[in-house]
Amino acid sequence: MAIFINSSFVINRLVIDCTFMLIHFFHKRNYKYSRKLINDKATNIGSIRKNPPELAIFAPSGRPARHHCHHIMKSFIFTIALCCLLAADLSAAGQHASGTSGTDTAVSRTGKDTCRRSWSMRYRGFIGGMMLHTGYVCSREVSIAGPAGDTHNISAEGAPLGIGGAIKFMFGKHLRIGTEGYVSTLTFGRHSSHAKTGWGGILADCTWQLGRFRIFAGGTVGGGSQTNTFILSPVRDDYLAEECISYRKYAFFAVAPFAGAEYALTNKVNLVAKIDWLLNVTNPQDDFTTGPRLYIGFMFGHAD
């Protein structure tokens, strides 16, 4: 029992330290990135005005309030995840303490067996399914220069539509490990510009059973790609090449904290709802669309 409690304490401390390191990392990275954009703005604008023939995209005019909101939301998500992990750790420690109380040998043995079962990381089953999602996502404002030298200030924002799925394998009483992947498309602007985000990776979450409800919180680590098509003028339905279009595509390392709930309709069918926030960790771009997404779908599987 002491070994289990000590191990839990060590893991708990590691989780706390890593979480605060991540929060500090995002604060420092976002500050440096914002200062770089401000310092380079004049240089980029001057360069494009000297070379106007080709379509170009340059540093944003900026939306400090929105960027600050994103910054606060990232810290908030990490704080919520930390609180969930601490709650699970305290709950498990309480089960150990209650299981070893008493002087009767039979009761003590029963408590130890219960603790072993609750701490056992054996495979218990799987659950998987598909989900549709929407929400609200936005990018920072960017300025796009056309062939004639005119500039257009555009930001991608609105309600995306997408689909994806996940599969999770259950280990022990609380832990689930699996994988997921999604595609999300946003249409915006007067001329139906669109931003498409695809991402996927390895996920892990912790669950708590409350009657027919199962509450969960966790995160996904993996990779993704962003494809943006900014259309500056009406596009005719023909086979002629268009000039006033800006096309960008890039990859990034993705981290997506999430939380949600599942409701057991039957022993093998669950209705699931969750919310997440996709983070571009390694390749921040002005036209990257991020924000809260709400997922609703069905999960199928079985467990012990």
Q: What is the CATH number of domain 2-303?
A: 2.40.160.20
pLDDT above 80 (res 227)? yes
Q: Look at residue 18 in the predicted model and tell me its pLDDT.
A: 54
Contact 223, 253 (CB under 8 A): yes
Name the band, by pLDDT with cuts 50, 70 and 90, for residue 241: confident
User: Who contacts 22 (Cβ-Cβ below 8 Å, separation ≥6)?
Assistant: 78
The token pair that represents 161 in the structure block:
């539509």
pLDDT tens column, 15-46: 455 555 555 554 455 445 444 544 554 455 44
Residue from 140, 217, 137 nearest 182 by CA: 137
Strand, coil or helix: 133: strand
The alpha carbons of the chain give a radius of gyration, in whole angstroms, of 24
The token pair that represents 244 in the structure block:
């006033």
- Name the pTM for this structure: 0.68
